[in-house]
């Protein structure tokens, strides 16, 4: 015996399928009707089929969050925030990993047309015209957690990297560190470009002589280590800012290998203020770019747009703060 349908419940309760549906969805019904239906539901162990319901109402009550790398702890933070908001609104969250290739991102957005989910929060690592186009043409609402042009006409919520970079530089200068190096991720990515600009701005504003910039191959721990190796063969900075926490932890490992103490010899600042910042040793001073708040607001924007698709696209910017820990003096 397979799963009972609403028709069998109706038969068992001696009422119509419409009445069963109404009771199940909390629409007006007499006390007796409610009792009869609920009893039948109970007895048969009836559970509504979400597939059929989805087809009928045109919604899956499922939302997608697309991130580049589930191994990056910043996405854990963001995921938690998004999950909290959407589940409170009665949606399930589907987390998808796109990888760092933009064609996979485009394929994902295009695939949304199949109706897997009612909406999408995407945090794209790389953005090109194809991606913007696919987002604009997407059948379901999309919110970008990241930076795309206003012309894309889409809700966005992004971090303020330049401001965050300024916080990091100010902190280091206040602690007397003036030879500041910068380890970035790939500059052809959205966060990479933003961090690069932020660092350049800060250097100019504070009239620093930048003690070298290096572009790691990726935003990962391994890339951070490799960058660190390359780095300390050429420069001798007394501080280094990294584009995210994973890179920073990688660099710290390499510093240790070179016998340099953190923060005594070299101060290190990460970005994202992820759980890893707290767990690393020494605990990592990190720029909190508001990943939790960005996730929360992105989810809220998505829900709002699902509710009303005519509203004007919002562009939210979340301001950074600095979480000072022991990797800086």
Partner DNA sequence: TTGTATGCGTTATCAA
Partner DNA sequence: TTGATAACGCATACAA
Binding site for DNA (CB under 7 A): 2-3, 5-7, 15-19, 21-22, 24-25, 28-30, 32-33, 46, 48-49, 52-53, 55-58
Tokens of 44: 């048969």
Interaction between residue 54 and a copy of itself (CB under 8 A)? yes
Among 95, 173, 306, 317, binds a copy of itself (CB under 8 A): 95
- Closest among 173, 193, 187 to 269, alpha carbons compared: 173
Answer with the entry of a copy of itself, DNA, none that 253 interacts with (C-beta below 5 to 8 A by kind): a copy of itself
Exposure string over 102-123, b if 16+ CB within 10 A, otherwise e = bebbbebbbbbeeebbbbbbbb
Separation of alpha carbons 79 and 94, rounded Å: 10
Among 102, 169, 226, 249, binds a copy of itself (CB under 8 A): 249
Q: Give the nearer residue to DNA in terms of CB position, either 56 or 207.
A: 56
Interaction between residue 99 and a copy of itself (CB under 8 A)? no
CB of 42 to DNA, least distance (A): 15
Separation of alpha carbons 22 and 256, rounded Å: 66
Element (H, E) at 106: helix 102-111
Q: Which of residues 160-219 bind a copy of itself (CB under 8 A)?
A: none
Q: What is the DSSP string of 172-194?
A: HHHTT---EEEEE--TTSHHHHH
Q: Give the nearer residue to DNA in terms of CB position, either 19 or 244.
A: 19
Q: Give the nearer residue to a copy of itself in terms of CB position, either 114 or 207.
A: 114
Answer with the entry of a copy of itself, DNA, none that 312 interacts with (C-beta below 5 to 8 A by kind): none
Given 3-state DSSP classes, what are the helix, strand and coil percentages for the chain, each rounded to the nearest 5? 45, 15, 35
Which residues share a beta bridge with 62? 92
Positions that interact with a copy of itself (CB under 8 A): 2-3, 47-52, 54-55, 58, 60, 62, 70-71, 73, 76, 79-80, 83, 92-97, 110, 113-116, 139, 221, 246, 249-250, 252-253, 256, 275-276, 278-281, 283
């Amino acid at each position: 015996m397979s799963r009972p349908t609403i028709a069998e419940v109706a038969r068992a309760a001696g009422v119509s399928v419409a009445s069963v549906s109404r009771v199940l969805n909390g629409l007006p019904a007499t006390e007796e009707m409610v009792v009869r239906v609920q009893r039948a539901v109970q007895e048969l162990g009836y559970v509504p089929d979400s597939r059929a319901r989805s087809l009928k109402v045109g919604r899956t009550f499922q939302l997608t969050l697309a991130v580049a790398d589930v191994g990056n702890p910043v996405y854990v933070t963001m995921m938690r925030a998004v999950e909290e908001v959407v589940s409170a609104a009665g949606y399930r969250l589907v987390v998808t990993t796109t990888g760092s290739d933009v064609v996979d991102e485009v394929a994902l957005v295009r695939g949304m047309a199949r109706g897997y989910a009612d909406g999408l929060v995407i945090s794209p690592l790389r953005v090109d015209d194809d991606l913007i186009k696919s987002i604009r043409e997407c059948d379901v609402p999309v919110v970008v957690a990241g930076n795309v042009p206003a012309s894309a006409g889409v809700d966005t919520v992004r971090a303020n990297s330049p401001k965050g970079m300024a916080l990091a530089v100010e902190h280091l200068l206040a602690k007397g560190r003036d030879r500041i190096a910068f380890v970035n991720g790939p500059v052809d990515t959205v966060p990479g470009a933003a961090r690069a600009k932020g660092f350049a701005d800060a250097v100019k504003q504070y009239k620093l002589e930048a003690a070298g910039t290096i572009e790691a191959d990726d935003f990962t721990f391994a890339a951070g280590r490799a960058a660190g190796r390359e780095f300390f063969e050429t420069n001798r900075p007394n501080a280094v800012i990294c584009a995210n926490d994973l890179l920073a932890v990688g660099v710290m490992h390499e510093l240790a290998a070179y016998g340099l103490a953190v923060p005594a010899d070299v101060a290190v600042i990460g970005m994202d203020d992820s759980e890893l910042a707290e767990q690393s040793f020494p605990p990592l001073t990190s720029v909190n770019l508001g990943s939790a708040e960005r996730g929360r607001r992105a989810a809220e924007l998505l829900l709002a747009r699902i509710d009303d698709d005519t509203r004007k696209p919002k562009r939210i910017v979340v301001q950074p703060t600095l979480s000072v820990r022991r990797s800086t003096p």
